[in-house]
């Protein structure tokens, strides 16, 4: 959607460039995901230093202590010891060493929060307790202060729109997989097939833009064109492209996906508007025999 938005807004409409931007955006999202995991590891390092470097109290003569530290988390130990993670960090050239001020600022915020204080004073924690704490920690990093997200947005223009997705990926990574242990989450389940789908969707949406535009125009005659958000138009064109060209995706799935995207990127009224227009067009296109689905449970 973002790649098509840029394409239609550009004076020089270059399909090849739009495809490159699409693939590049996907790669940058993976890079952001690794950057977030690296941040969690650095945060644990700051936590360790905080207690190691703490001077003795003039009153009690004792140093600050914690019954449980971030470094005790099984997930953090995995991040620091896994060859899979180490290789991914090395390949992406991920490092926070030049930006430790941001890590320190976020840690100072985290260590003042009640949830953190309760966790470190609670002794040993089981798997569920650790995961619940990590879920809170990731949410607090993303939403508790603007320091972290502002830093990432300044780092890359590609990262700003991927923060919610990557937050979810980070949380998912903290879940122990069925086969035991933690695993890095991949953005593309099947890289070859997914990239082919992405390219096909963007190519055919652009190729059939005039046709899709006319279909939508016929169903929105009572609407002032200026009142229809450009994002809504693009999402409807993408939905039509997917419904008409991608034979192994159910119609309802396509409609629901684009409605969900509109909730995050368009107006409060977009959900109902897109659903109403596409529903009418699907009925019409089916009656004309233009929608063909193949695969088990898809043939109507």
DSSP 233-252: HHHHHHHHHHHHH-TTS-HH
The sign of the CA dihedral 253, 183, 130, 35 is: negative
Q: What is the pLDDT of residue 225?
A: 57
Report the C-alpha gap between 250 and 243 in whole angstroms: 8
The sign of the CA dihedral 204, 208, 212, 217 is: positive
Cα-based distances in Å from 101 to 57, 109, 148: 26, 13, 11
Q: What is the pLDDT of residue 298?
A: 53
Q: What is the pLDDT of residue 118?
A: 92
Report the C-alpha gap between 42 and 63 in whole angstroms: 22
Q: What is the pLDDT of residue 52?
A: 81
Cβ-proximal residues to 185 (8 Å cutoff; 6+ apart), any chain: 33, 169, 172, 173
Nearest Cα to Cα of residue 8 among 180, 233, 264: 233
Q: What is the pLDDT of residue 295?
A: 63
Contact 103, 46 (CB under 8 A): yes
208-287 has which CATH code? 1.10.940.10
Collect the ranges in the chain with pLDDT lower than 70: 54-64, 67, 177-179, 224-226, 295-300
Listed in order, the ranges of the chain carrying CATH 1.10.940.10 are: 208-287
Q: Could you give the 3-state DSSP secondary structure of residue 211?
A: helix
Q: What is the pLDDT of residue 146?
A: 92
Q: What is the pLDDT of residue 21?
A: 82
CA 179: distance to chain centroid? 25
Q: What is the pLDDT of residue 33?
A: 95
Q: What is the pLDDT of residue 149?
A: 94
Q: What is the pLDDT of residue 223?
A: 74
């Amino acid at each position: 959607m973002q790649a098509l938005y840029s394409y239609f807004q550009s004076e020089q409409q270059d399909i090849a460039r739009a495809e490159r931007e699409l693939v590049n955006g996907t790669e940058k999202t993976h890079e952001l995901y690794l950057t977030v995991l690296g941040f969690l590891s650095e945060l644990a390092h700051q936590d360790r230093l905080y207690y190691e470097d703490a001077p003795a109290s003039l009153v009690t003569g004792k140093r600050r202590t914690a019954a449980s530290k971030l470094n005790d988390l099984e997930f953090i130990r995995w991040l620091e010891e896994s060859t899979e993670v180490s290789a991914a960090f090395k390949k992406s050239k991920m490092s926070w060493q030049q930006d430790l001020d941001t890590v320190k600022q976020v840690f100072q915020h985290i260590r003042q929060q009640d949830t953190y204080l309760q966790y470190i004073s609670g002794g040993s924690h089981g798997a569920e307790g650790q995961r619940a704490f990590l879920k809170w920690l990731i949410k607090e990093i993303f939403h508790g202060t603007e320091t972290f997200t502002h830093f990432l947005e300044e780092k890359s223009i590609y990262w700003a729109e991927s923060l919610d997705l990557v937050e979810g990926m980070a949380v998912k990574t903290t879940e122990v997989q069925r086969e035991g242990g933690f695993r890095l989450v991949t953005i593309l389940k099947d890289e070859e097939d997914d990239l082919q789908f992405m390219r096909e969707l963007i190519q055919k949406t652009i190729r059939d833009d005039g046709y899709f535009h006319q279909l939508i125009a016929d169903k929105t005659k009572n609407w002032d064109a200026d009142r229809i958000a450009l994002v809504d138009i693009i999402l409807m064109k993408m939905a039509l492209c997917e419904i008409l060209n991608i034979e192994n995706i159910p119609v309802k799935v396509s409609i629901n996906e684009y409605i969900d995207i509109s909730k995050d990127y368009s107006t409060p009224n977009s959900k109902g508007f897109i659903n109403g227009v596409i529903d009418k067009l699907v009925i019409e296109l089916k009656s004309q025999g233009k929608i063909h689905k193949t695969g088990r449970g898809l043939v109507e």
